[in-house]
Amino acid sequence: MLKVMLIDDEPFILQGLQILIDWKAEGYEIVALMSNGKEAYEYLKENQVDLIISDIQMPVMTGLELLEKIRTEKISSARFAILTGYDDIAYAQRAIRNESMDYILKPVQKEDILALLRNVSERETEKAVNKAEQRKMEDAYLASNLLALIKGKFDSENLEYVRNHLQLSGDIRFVDIEVLGGSRDEENDDFDLRMLQHQLHHACCESLKENANHFIFDVSYDNQNYDVGFIYCENMATRNDLSEKEFFKDLIKRIENILFMQIKMTCGKKVSDISAIAKSYSSCCMLIGISGFHKRKKLYIYEEDVQVENGQNIVLLCKNSIDNVISAINDGDKAAIDSSIDHLFEELREIDEKENAKNLNINYLLFQLIHIATKQDDNVNQEEVIHYISENSFDESIIRGGSQHMKRFAYEYSEYLFSLRKNVSRGLIFSIENEINEHYAENITLKSLGDKYYINSSYLGQLFRKTHNMSFKDYLTKVRVSQAAYQLLNTDKKINKIAEDVGYYDCDYFIRKFIELKGCTPSKYRRDNKVR
């Protein structure tokens, strides 16, 4: 309801205004009745209203004096309307200069007041929409700056903007939040999961309204994972007299109570400053990758669930056995994989009475496997490796201590390493050339090829330029134009249809590219070269 103040020194006019229309039905509530401008001025210093309807001639302070005073001192942004029995152009001009919305002559007509109220309502609605759009744009800009920091590709402007717009105090973590069961599979399509992701983001923002801009929609490196990112700061817990773990558990409950679904929260390691948030993000991704080997739960915290570097537990680490498994996987020796994993699990059974011994060893093994993959080439996409492990590593049998799933995973990972080694050689470029020749009409990009062949897209672009002495984009254009030239000479298709056939839906752009490579328009090329 919009709040209204009525001001007039004649009580019967105030009473008449109250009963003249159904204020509630119009979306208004009368919150103050004043007899002069001075009373209204004192009220407005402590209270806010949306609309002031005031008489001009009143004792102590007139309506126009009140209007000028609140505009000069900026004590209220309320919309203002003047009531008067004087049809005086000087009064009207003075009111307009001070941004009065209306100048209504007495006796007041119901239609005049209704027109005023509906005009104000429309403007307030427009103001609210504009404010929401402005907030949306600001949030999107903040998120883009945060993503630059999270991905580790930022400059001083990104850093300064984030520091100025987030409440940052104490240690910081990157936290990944996702709905349990909210990944793409046969039962969930992309549209439903995207809607679920929006609901999750809304629930997160509602659960922590004072820090809603700390939640980032869609951060995940994995395009099959519909998650929400969260920048946690230590003071979020301490100001509520909670430990970190208590804060995270409480936040999970609050989000679930709004969403009516269970969620999982994965917390990266602590960093001391927002400039280092990429390290926390990277550790969070690793923890997601290896959490498949842990008992499923709602809350994962890096320092609790990754204990490889914990000195007091190092005696529980079966390092020699793990090194033998890693060596066998790296060599692709299935017999050695079988024997080394059997030996590792036998050793794990012997120390099984030690708390978290198995988790410690599995974590160490997976970290080493990630390291082996990224060591193939500095530009191999580490996040893709983590995703591969996450997608292929979980099975209840391994939690119960069985070794068969580990063996299957080891065989697959060994083949995966072999494919990575091929990808950093000429074999990768050859495969991509074939891909382009077969799918040139489709929306092929370096990113899509990088995702398919598990290699960083910018590094792939460098390899391509070294091999062909041209950019990937120029090579794709060359293939498309060559295919178009073939069709021009061997078919009677119209030029716009040929353009579509080779991947161009903007015919003018196609013609421009054709001229660049062939030196003439497609029509002239067909006319000059087609065999009659």
Please report which helix (H) or strand (E) contains residue 29, including its range. strand 28-34
Rg of the chain over all Cα atoms, to the nearest angstrom = 34
Contact 39, 33 (CB under 8 A): no
Instruction: Give residue 401's pLDDT.
Output: 46
The encoded tokens of residue 172 equal: 């910081």
Whether the Cβ atoms of residue 476 and residue 444 lie closer than 8 Å to each other: yes
Distance of CA 151 to the CA centre of its chain: 12
Residue 397 has a pLDDT of 45
pLDDT, residue 399, reads 45
Give the CATH architecture of domain 2-125.
3-Layer(aba) Sandwich (3.40)
Q: What span, in angstroms and rounded, lies between the C-alpha atoms of 47 and 167?
A: 28
Instruction: For residue 121, give Cα distances in angstroms to 52, 117, 135, 324, 472.
Output: 13, 6, 21, 74, 56
Q: What is the per-residue pLDDT for 136? A: 80
CA distances from 468 to 166, 224, 471, 502 (A): 46, 33, 8, 21
Q: Is residue 191 exposed (0-12), middle (13-18) or buried (19+ Cβ within 10 Å)?
A: exposed
pLDDT computed for residue 389 by the predictor: 63
Which residues in the chain are classed under CATH 3.30.70?
166-279
Residue-level pLDDT at 294 = 59
Query: According to the model, what pLDDT value does residue 228 have?
Result: 93
* DSSP tally for the chain: helices H, then strands E: 24, 10
- Quick one: the chain helix, strand, coil %, rounded to 5? 60, 10, 25
Q: Which two tokens stand for residue 205?
A: 């923002």
Length of the chain: 532
Residues of the chain with pLDDT under 50: 184-187, 221, 308-315, 355, 394-401
**323-380 confidence digits (pLDDT tens):** 899 889 888 889 999 999 998 888 887 765 554 667 667 777 877 787 777 666 555 5
**Tokens 């979306």 found at:** 27
Where does the chain hold its CATH 1.10.10.60 domain(s)? 426-529
What pLDDT sits at residue 52?
94
The string of DSSP codes covering 271-336 is BSSGGGHHHHHHHHHHHHHHGGGSPP-SEEEHHHH--TT-GGGGGG--HHHHHHHHHHHHHT-HHH
Domain limits, CATH 3.40.50.2300, in the chain: 2-125
DSSP 237-270: HHTTT--HHHHHHHHHHHHHHHHSS-EEEEEPPP
Q: Where are the alpha helices (DSSP H) in 21-56?
A: 37-44
| Confidence (pLDDT) at 186 | 43
Residue 448, judged by CB atoms within 10 A of its CB (0-12, 13-18, 19+), counts as middle
Which tokens hold the place of 45? Answer: 């210093």
In the 8-state DSSP scheme, what is residue 108? Answer: P
Give dist(CA 21, CA 27) in Å, integer.
11
Residue 311 is predicted with a pLDDT of 44
CATH number of 426-529: 1.10.10.60
Q: What are phi and psi of 105, to 5 degrees?
A: -85, 145
Strand order in the sheet with 215-217: 215-217, 228-233, 172-179, 263-267, 299-301
Question: Which residues lie across from 3 on neighbouring strands?
Answer: 29
Q: How many CA atoms lie within 13 A of 12 on its CB side?
A: 1
CATH architecture assignment, domain 166-279: 2-Layer Sandwich (3.30)
State the pLDDT at residue 509: 87
Q: For residue 121, give both structure tokens.
A: 């309502």
pLDDT for position 366 = 77
Count Cβ atoms below 10 Å from residue 514 Cβ, excluding itself: 27
Question: Whole-angstrom Cα distance, residue 283 to residue 288?
Answer: 9
Decide: 190 and 200 in contact? Cβ < 8 Å: no
Give the other-Cβ count within 10 Å of 132's Cβ.
Answer: 10
Residue 199: per-residue pLDDT: 93
b (16+ CB within 10 A) / e for 306-322: bbbeeeebeebbbeebb
Tokens representing 251? 């936040």
